[in-house]
């Protein structure tokens, strides 16, 4: 008997919910008919603004993650390069950036996905292009260095002497980071990002040429701080 009452009550509640949903829909339809031109414009501008705000919210997190990752790896690589038998081989640790990317992707897999905008897509493509060129350059140089152990690569056919080329990979990578960062700043209309990345790119590029060897990594860590961590902190500050 009690069970019958319970099921009747549940049924009533369910039908009430359906009725209230129908009423809500009707109210919405009635509202639609009363929608004025002014209100339409309000809806459009409010929705666009809220959507823009929601999408840019937390955009500093990516910059912070990559900035801190590059800083830590650069300092570890620099330390091992100078103080261990690994020498330049310590640069292999840059592969850890790939691990960071995989962990980030796994972590974000179960989080609600933010929509892709033209701006976010363009910024992603700028940094991807930089990453692809930088990564490919690294592989090409590793290949050449292996080749160089057995075959001397002359740069001039006229000179009888074999001349080896010094390729300032760290300076070039810093320059790439500067260009990509400045482009990001300009797309986002952020003076902070643009200026920070300009300073980091130009100064870092010059310093990495001056301090060759393990100290290039200290310069790179500084560039990651000025060009990525600092702008991320500025953006975060503005959000609050």
Partner 1 sequence: MFKPLNPLLHSELRLAVMSILIGIDEADFPYIKEQTGATSGNLSVQIDKLYSVGYIDVEKTFRGKRPATICRITDKGSQAFEEYIDALRSYIK
Of 28, 151, 155, 165, the one binding partner 1 (CB under 8 A) is: 28
Tokens of 137: 């350059």
Site for partner 1 in 43-72 (CB under 8 A): 43-44, 47-48, 50-52, 54-55
Sorted by sequence, the CB contacts under 8 Å of residue 235 that are 6+ apart come out as 59, 60, 63, 190, 192, 193
| Distance from C-alpha of 146 to C-alpha of 149, rounded to nearest angstrom | 6
32 binds partner 1 (CB under 8 A): yes
Task: State which of residues 24, 61, 191, 212 lies at the interface with partner 1 (CB under 8 A).
Answer: 24
CA–CA distance, 81 with 138 (Å, rounded to integer): 17
Check binding of 37 to partner 1 (CB under 8 A): yes
The CB-of-65 to partner 1 minimum distance in angstroms stands at 22
N residues, the chain: 240
Q: How far apart are CA 59 and CA 182, in angstroms?
A: 16
* Stretch binding partner 1 (CB under 8 A), from 67-75, 106-114, 154-162, 185-193: 106-114
Residue 153 CA to residue 167 CA, distance in Å, equals 13
Least separation in angstroms between CB 17 and partner 1: 10
**Shortest separation between residue 39's beta carbon and partner 1, angstroms:** 8
Q: Does 189 bind partner 1 (CB under 8 A)?
A: no
How far out from the chain centre does Cα 161 lie? 45
Tell me the window of 105-113, 136-144, 201-209, 220-228 that interacts with partner 1 (CB under 8 A).
105-113
Dihedral of CA atoms 27, 33, 36, 41 in degrees, nearest 10, equals 70
CA distance 174 to 204: 6
Print the binding letters for residues 112-131 with partner 1: x by CB under 8 A, - otherwise. xxxxxxx--x----------
Site of interaction with partner 1 (CB under 8 A): 21, 24-25, 28-29, 31-32, 35, 37-41, 43-44, 47-48, 50-52, 54-55, 109-110, 112-118, 121
């Amino acid at each position: 008997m009690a069970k019958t009452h319970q099921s009747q009550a549940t049924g009533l509640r369910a039908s009430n919910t359906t009725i209230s949903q129908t009423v809500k829909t009707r109210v919405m339809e009635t509202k639609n008919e009363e929608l004025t031109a002014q209100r339409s414009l309000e809806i459009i501008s409010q929705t666009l603004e809220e959507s823009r705000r929601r999408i840019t919210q937390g955009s500093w997190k990516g910059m912070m993650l990559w900035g801190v990752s590059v800083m830590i790896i650069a300092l570890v690589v620099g330390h091992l390069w100078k103080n261990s038998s690994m020498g330049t081989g310590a640069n292999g640790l840059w592969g850890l950036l790939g691990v960071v990317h995989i962990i980030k992707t796994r972590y974000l897999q179960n989080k609600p996905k933010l929509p892709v905008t033209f701006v976010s897509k363009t910024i992603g493509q700028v940094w991807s292009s930089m990453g692809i060129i930088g990564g490919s350059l690294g592989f090409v140089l590793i290949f050449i260095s292996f080749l160089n152990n057995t075959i001397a690569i002359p740069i001039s056919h006229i000179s009888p002497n074999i001349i080896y080329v010094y390729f300032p990979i760290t300076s070039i990578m810093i320059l790439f980071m500067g260009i990509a960062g400045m482009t990001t700043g300009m797309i986002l209309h952020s003076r902070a990002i643009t200026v920070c990345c300009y300073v980091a790119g130009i100064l870092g590029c010059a310093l990495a040429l001056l301090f060759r060897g393990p100290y290039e990594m200290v310069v790179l860590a500084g560039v990651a701080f000025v060009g990525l961590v600092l702008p991320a902190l500025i953006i975060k500050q503005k959000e609050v």
